[in-house]
Structure 1
Amino acid sequence: MHGGEQYLVWAQQDLAIEGNSNLYIARMENPWTLGTPAVLLTRPEFDWECQVFSVNEGASVLVRDGRIFLTYSASGTGIEYAMGLLTASADADLLDPASWEKSPQPVFTSDPSAGIYGPGHNSFTEDADGNTVLVYHARTYTTIVGDPLWEPNRQACAQVLPFVDGEPQWGTPAPLQRPAPTATDVLPASGLPEGDAAA
């Protein structure tokens, strides 16, 4: 919902356009009906969007400081997966492709030093202090057997997305932090939680 209007952004293939999927936008008449024709926002065109597969997908929107940040994911779903960015003014005509500026470079990519590969398909939320939090999935390894799309071991990750002078500081993926086990996570030798008994 933006400016009292509801919009939908989605990924779809057009057989007349080379590639696997593009991103489109439309205004909604109601929550289940498009109220305007679909408008092409972005298609895979840069080298980093066309690794293994030519893909733009997984859009997520953040409205902040008078601007709209629309992230998306590109390329195949292996270690080449990365996040791109479209930006528009919050008072612009969102159905006009000219309102959107597309970053020619990915804004969030693999970081071998952190052991995080193929970050993407993100969303946004806030922590208890009101900080924007970037949520995404990624892998902790580089060797994938078979089709990466069907390899299920991607981790859910989250980290604060800082802003400086209204600009998101994307940085790089943080190393995976696993919470320390609590007493309720540890089973006794019987394999049953304390106080339970086998029937």
Structure 2
Amino acid sequence: MSSLSPKIQALKEKHKDNKEAQTKALMELYQKEKISPFSGCLPILIQLPILWTLYNVLISSLKTVNASDIYPFLSNFIVSFKEPYSFLGLVNMATPNIFLAFLAGVLQLIQSYQMVRYQNFKSSGPSDIAASLNKNMTFILPIMTFFISWKLPAALALYWATTTLISIFQQLYIVYYERKNKIAN
């Protein structure tokens, strides 16, 4: 998408007075380059059922079901099923944890900054709504991540932080690969 930025800016400049023609030209460019503007939504849609399921498991079933009744053959190997579910014995995963919420927020800030930096958006003036919205979301999304993670079970904050960390490394790999291909060509 960042390699198309000059072409997109040229189309915006060419059709700056006619928004309908600008939109049509952008869609033709996306079709020609085989890029879907909504392709970034798919990973989020895939993660939503996982988040809802994880949330429901942690909120409802851990409080109402005794695991020793479901898996009695494991009671010899596990000391107590009544202990809180913890991560490495350090963090109770069923209750909110401010440290994991802060970690998820900071990682989201790093990812947002990284995305803005590599997308190389160039504002075409004060009326460029997309660029200003992108700059605002750089800070709003990490704050929302922190507050949402702070109120929900720590397992969700850990999941959010982990997926964000994977996304950061994935973006670094993609940028490295694109730069390597540019140098080779």
User: TM-score, with normalisation over the residues of structure 1?
Assistant: 0.19
Point out the structure with the larger strand share: 1
User: TM-score, with normalisation over the residues of structure 2?
Assistant: 0.20
Larger Rg: 2
Point out the structure with the larger helix share: 2
Structure with greater contact order relative to length (CA < 8 Å, sep ≥ 6): 2
